[in-house]
Amino acid sequence: MRCEDPAGLARLDAWSARAGLKVTHIVLARGRTPSQPMLTLRGHGRLVEQLGETRRIVDALTADGFAVRRVKLEVPPWAAGVPVDDDARAGRLADAGLYFEHHVCLLLPPDTDLEELARLVTPHRAHVSWNTRKLGGDGLERRFVTQRCERVGRETAGARLGRLLASLRRAGHRWQGVEREFVVHDSDTSIDDGWIDPLPEESRDAWQQEGVRT
C-alpha cells in the first residue's frame, strides 16, 4: 500500500476494520521502499481462486482512493506444487519470480547494534525489518530477519534456514518464532530493491554445488 503519512495510515486502518482485514506496517532497514503498509487476507483453495479474491480487494481499495503497490501470495513450503528438489523446475519457478521466504522474529535488547545484525545475516541472503505495531512491551524489541532462497527446492531452502539460525544462535540471539513460506505470486519484487542483496557470484556457485549434494 502507498500510505506515507499518519492520516493515510489512519484511513487504511478504518477501511481494513470495515473489511475485516489486518493492517501491518513493515519497515525495512534499508532499500528503495522502506515503509510498507500492507493488508493481510487469509484464504484456502486454488491459486486462481485466491488471485480472484485478491483482485476483488484491490479493486475495492482502488475505488476508495488507495494506491496498491504490490500483491503477494504465500503458501506453506509443504503445499502441493512447491519445488522439493534443486532441479530445472525450481529454476523455471525462480525465472517466474517465485521463491522461498523465511522470517525469524528476534527478541532483542533495545541497545542491539542493528548494523552488526545486518552484517551477520547478509551472507545468508537475508536482512532486517520490523513491524511498527509490534515492538513489544517486555523491554525487548521485535525485529525480523527475512531470508530468500531461489532456484532451489524445499530441502535446500530448509538447510539454508538452518545455517542462518545457527549463525544467529552463535551470536547469542533469541527468537520468538520462525515462519517458512513459498511465494507463489509477487506482482512487483522491485519494491524490495536495495534491501536483500543478490548473492555474489562466488557464493552463488558454492550454493549451487551445495544444492547438488543435498
Tens-place pLDDT, residues 30-44: 999 999 999 999 998
Containing structural domain, residue 209: 1-214
Give the count of domains, the chain. Answer: 1
pLDDT band at 199 (very low <50, low <70, confident <90, very high): low
Residue 38 is placed in which grid cell? 500492507
Average pLDDT over residues 129-142: 80
Q: Which of 58-62, 128-132, 155-159 has the lowest mean pLDDT?
A: 128-132
**Cα(50)–Cα(30) distance, rounded to whole angstroms?**
31
What is the model's pTM? 0.89
For residue 185, pLDDT over 50 is answered with yes
At 200, the pLDDT band (50, 70, 90 cuts) reads low
pLDDT exceeds cutoff 50 at 25 = yes
CA–CA–CA angle 83, 167, 211 (5° rounding):
30
Q: Which of 12-16, 146-150, 200-204 has the lowest mean pLDDT?
A: 200-204
Quick check: 168 pLDDT over 80?
yes
Average pLDDT rounded to a whole number, residues 145-166:
98
% of the chain beyond a pLDDT of 70: 91
